[in-house]
Amino acid sequence: MSFRSVFIAIVIAFALILGAFLVQRARPRVETDQPNVEFVKATGKCAECHSRQQYSIVHEFEMSKHATQGVTCLDCHQPQKGQEKDKIDHNGFQITAHITPANCRVCHEQIYQEFVRSRHAAPSWSAVFGEGGLTAEQVDAAKKIYAGPTNPRTGDRIYPGLEPGSEFAWSTLIAGPETFLGGDFFTYMVFQDPTWDFHTLDFDRDIALADATLAPIIDSTSSDLSGFRSRGGKLLMYHGWADPLVSPDTSLIMFKRINEAVGRAASGSLALFMVPGMGHCQGGPGTDQFDKVAAVDQWIESGTKPLSIPASHVTGGIVDRTRPLCAYPATAHYLGSGSTNDAKNFQCK
Ligand code: HEC
Ligand code: HEC
Ligand code: HEC
């Protein structure tokens, strides 16, 4: 080998080392602090160690689209801005065990943006963090929805509020720039003026106007069911606790009024079933599938008021929960063992 080629080799080697050093120095700190993605991919360190400790997690990961697309464990478990408190030193890596949408955001920006603006985000957030992290304005708006509208002058309640659990349907019925049903009611029926702007609604004057003009036609608030009762009628009422359209309290109020009007005799002809987690007549996470007609039929035939009705929740045609519905004021109580998705582990009391 000539001296010339040895010299050239040394110069090239030196240039390469210097180049590598400069490139390394120019890298942002986060990259040099932590083993980078390429390193994790190359060594498979997380997966290798965890397949000994928690094989199921690695197995699940291996079967995911993330794995086939080269997304690594650290891609998700890398602490993001705002997760400084959750940062843990873990076998030479800095990771977070508490993954939030911020960790998914890195790659799914659009879905992240949709999620944080959705009504999914607010209830799950408040279930975990209470009011923390919500603006005073957001908390105030939610409180108003739970409380229902009142007359600003007299303080009287105009209509009961919605119950906790109804939030899953707020997006359709309450949120957004337009009103759902209430706006059209005032525009076309109360004011009969298509240009009327719902923002101008006066909860004192305009409610009184609606009552004066339309209550005689629309209201069905009489608690006098004596005629119905005296010819042997049986009334089975049911209402979803999570109804976001008609407040479930309206049924409770009616139930109470009928009982007050008729006295103890009412209990022979009136039964109310409040359905936890059910939306407007159906839907929601509650057990919304139950045979009302069969219950009334049995009541008439046997003369015995139903004290519970078997109900189920169905997802994609498959029953994934059963529960007894209990005649108000009884509620379903868990007996303390067995699946909470199985009606036989509950008792009405
Ligand atoms: C040397 C083996 C080893 C390596 C390498 C390793 N882990 Fe772990 N990891 C464990 C063990 C063992 C546990 C359970 C005990 C514990 O919490 O320390 C664990 C726990 C965890 C937890 C739960 C921590 C908690 O506080 O709940 C997460 C998340 C995690 N690992 C992710 C990772 C990620 C991501 C990587 C790669 C960047 C990784 N691990 C690398 C062994 C390892
Ligand atoms: C697509 C993102 C993603 C990837 C990729 C991913 N994880 Fe996770 N990991 C999560 C989420 C989300 C959780 C649930 C966190 C929670 O319960 O708060 C989790 C939970 C865990 C836990 C349990 C933490 C605890 O507190 O008990 C461990 C351990 C873990 N992952 C390890 C790994 C390992 C090892 C890999 C790679 C083989 C990996 N993860 C890949 C998102 C991911
Ligand atoms: C490092 C980038 C990255 C991160 C971080 C990440 N993902 Fe993904 N994700 C991907 C890629 C790439 C795909 C595959 C896209 C495709 O094939 O359409 C994917 C696909 C998915 C899919 C579709 C899976 C399927 O089988 O069709 C879901 C759901 C998903 N990601 C959820 C999440 C969630 C939840 C998190 C946070 C816990 C997360 N991702 C974090 C890159 C990432």
Domain limits, the chain: 1-25, 34-101, 149-218, 226-348
Q: Mean pLDDT across the stretch 80-93?
A: 87
Average pLDDT, the chain: 87
What would the pLDDT profile of 289-314 be if each residue is shown by its tens digit?
999 999 999 999 999 999 999 999 99
- CB of 120 sitting under 6 A from ligand 2: no
Mutation to probe ligand 1, out of 90, 95, 98, 99 (largest number of atoms < 8 A from CB) = 90
Q: Which residues contact 165 (CB under 8 A, 6 or more apart)?
A: 241, 242, 276, 277, 284
Q: What percent of the chain has pLDDT over 90?
A: 49
Residue entry with tokens 């069911």? 225
How would residue 343 be classed by pLDDT, with cut points 50, 70 and 90? very high
Q: Mean pLDDT across the stretch 200-223?
A: 94
d(C-alpha 135, C-alpha 284), whole Å = 27
DSSP per position, 311-333: EEEEETTEEEEEEEEEBTT--EE
CB atoms within 10 A of CB 223: 16
Contact in structure between 322 and 343 (CB atoms under 8 Å):
yes
- CB of 58 sitting under 6 A from ligand 2: yes
Ligand 2 centroid distance, CA of 127 (Å): 21
What would the pLDDT profile of 148-192 be if each residue is shown by its tens digit?
999 999 999 999 999 988 887 787 777 777 888 888 999 999 999
What would the pLDDT profile of 110-128 be if each residue is shown by its tens digit?
888 778 766 566 666 666 6
Cis amide leading into 35 (omega within 30): no
Atom 26 of ligand 1 has which residue's CA nearest to it? 97
Checking if the pLDDT of 35 tops 70, the result is: no
Lowest-confidence segment of 243-247, 266-270, 281-285 by average pLDDT: 266-270
Checking if the pLDDT of 33 tops 60, the result is: no
- CB of 207 sitting under 6 A from ligand 1: no
d(C-alpha 109, C-alpha 163), whole Å = 33
Checking if the pLDDT of 66 tops 70, the result is: yes
Q: Which residues contact 89 (CB under 8 A, 6 or more apart)?
A: none
Contact in structure between 306 and 325 (CB atoms under 8 Å):
no
Checking if the pLDDT of 32 tops 80, the result is: no
- CB of 61 sitting under 6 A from ligand 2: yes
The pLDDT of residue 124:
62
Closest ligand to Cα 95? 1
The pLDDT of residue 31:
45
d(C-alpha 312, C-alpha 318), whole Å = 10
Mutation to probe ligand 2, out of 37, 60, 61 (largest number of atoms < 8 A from CB) = 61
The pLDDT of residue 27:
61
Q: Mean pLDDT across the stretch 87-102?
A: 89
Atom 10 of ligand 2 has which residue's CA nearest to it? 99
Closest ligand to Cα 105? 3
Checking if the pLDDT of 23 tops 80, the result is: no
Q: Residue 259 corresponds to which tokens in the numbers above?
A: 């009982």
d(C-alpha 175, C-alpha 330), whole Å = 34
- CB of 102 sitting under 6 A from ligand 2: no
Distances (CA, A) of 67 to 13, 73, 111, 219: 37, 9, 20, 60
How would residue 53 be classed by pLDDT, with cut points 50, 70 and 90? confident
Q: Which one is predicted more confidently, 330 or 81?
A: 330
